Amino acid sequence: MKSFPMMSEVQAIECHYIQPGRACAFLICEGGRAAFVDNNTTRAVPYLLQALRERGMTPEQVEYAIVTHVHLDHAGGTAALLAHCPNATVLCHPKAARHLASPARLVAGSKQVYGEELFARFYGEIVPVDASRIRSIGDGEVVHWGARALTFMYTLGHATHHVCIFDAKTNTVFAGDNLGICYPALSRGRRPYIFAACTPSEYDPGYTIQSLDRILATGATHAHMNHFGTFELTDALIEQFRRSVERTEEIIQLAADSGLVDTELRVMINGLVRKAMEDELRYCGLPVDAQSLYWIEPDIALNSTGLSYSTMKRRQRRGAAAAQREP
């Protein structure tokens, strides 16, 4: 992890999700006030409160629970966190606000991906967030908070309800999952190993690149990424991320052209995702060994499922376009 010059201003909190080193949330302290950016799951809330205590702050001083998007490893703990922080307001995309207040569809979708047993282990019970404690934020809206100006940007690509937040005070951006995944354990090669997060069911490579460009246009020097940590936005990091997104586009095109369906399609996509992620390990100067695979196996599985959704959507779009061309 590259050092972040104002680390005291923004702190990454290990959430112990699946294994240490996989997911974090962020704590911003501003004068005597605090804000969390994402909260991982209900099981992570004790770690968030502990981080607050270590900064000498109380739950009453938490003013915002910012949510980049509602995937449950980012916002699964929102209701539980608010129960401890009586003065906190949720800031999020309007679509995310609807999911948080009525999580039934989100929960059903996640159970489909993870299965009942894993869902229960990772997330526990997801309860609705009181709608009166949620504030929907507009695209480009600036929230002035003490000496800070936080600019919210709607960023498509990873999820249709995703926001990234530019913090002018530290010249950094809270990227959620829009800049993908970069594990410090895999950052010891010639190039930084970073790859797109294609979590089901809304991943779109074209929009991901548009959002990347929008993030870069802020001039931010560093990105806070929930998987995992704060990274300097070097040319090498950005180039490697673009490569990884291009590979997902190639996979979607190949899979959409294949004519395969159901299990055969999923097997094909899984093979292509595995090959792409292993190829990129080598390109970055990392071995394809048990240690590297330990980190990326869960993401190979999740990205394969996500790219299956993207492939089906691509076919639907092509079908609709072809139907329009019919006389």
User: Tokens in use for 241?
Assistant: 């991320």
By the rule CB under 5 A, 247 interacts with Zn ion: no
By the rule CB under 5 A, 202 interacts with Zn ion: no
Q: Of the candidates 63, 177, 202, 280, which one interacts with Zn ion according to CB under 5 A? A: 177
By the rule CB under 5 A, 68 interacts with Zn ion: no
Q: Is 257 helix (H, G, I), strand (E, B) or coil?
A: helix
By the rule CB under 5 A, 280 interacts with Zn ion: no
Q: How far is the CB of 60 from Zn ion (least distance, A)?
A: 30
Q: Tell me which stretch binds Zn ion (CB under 5 A): 31-39, 71-79, 139-147, 266-274.
A: 71-79
CA-wise closest residue to 175 among 113, 129, 221, 109: 221
Q: Of the candidates 35, 67, 71, 103, which one interacts with Zn ion according to CB under 5 A? A: 71
Q: Which amino acid is at 69?
A: H
Residues 6+ apart with CB under 8 A from 64: 35, 36, 88, 89, 90, 91, 143, 145
Nearer to Zn ion, 145 or 154 (CB): 154
Q: Of the candidates 199, 230, 240, 244, which one interacts with Zn ion according to CB under 5 A? A: 199
User: Tokens in use for 215?
Assistant: 């993030």
Q: Tell me which stretch binds Zn ion (CB under 5 A): 16-24, 47-55, 196-204, 255-263.
A: 196-204
Q: Please tell me the distance from the alpha carbon of residue 121 to that of residue 256, in angstroms, as a whole number.
A: 34
Q: How far is the CB of 257 from Zn ion (least distance, A)?
A: 27
Q: Which residue is nearest to Zn ion (CB)?
A: 71
CA-wise closest residue to 225 among 249, 201, 197: 197
Instruction: From residue 251, give the alpha-carbon distance in Å to each of 198, 274, 314, 320.
Output: 12, 11, 11, 21
Q: Please tell me the distance from the alpha carbon of residue 211 to that of residue 243, in angstroms, as a whole number.
A: 15
Nearer to Zn ion, 172 or 199 (CB): 199
Q: Which amino acid is at 54?
A: E
Nearer to Zn ion, 177 or 249 (CB): 177
Q: How far is the CB of 75 from Zn ion (least distance, A)?
A: 9
> Which residues bind to Zn ion, rule: CB under 5 A?
71, 177, 199
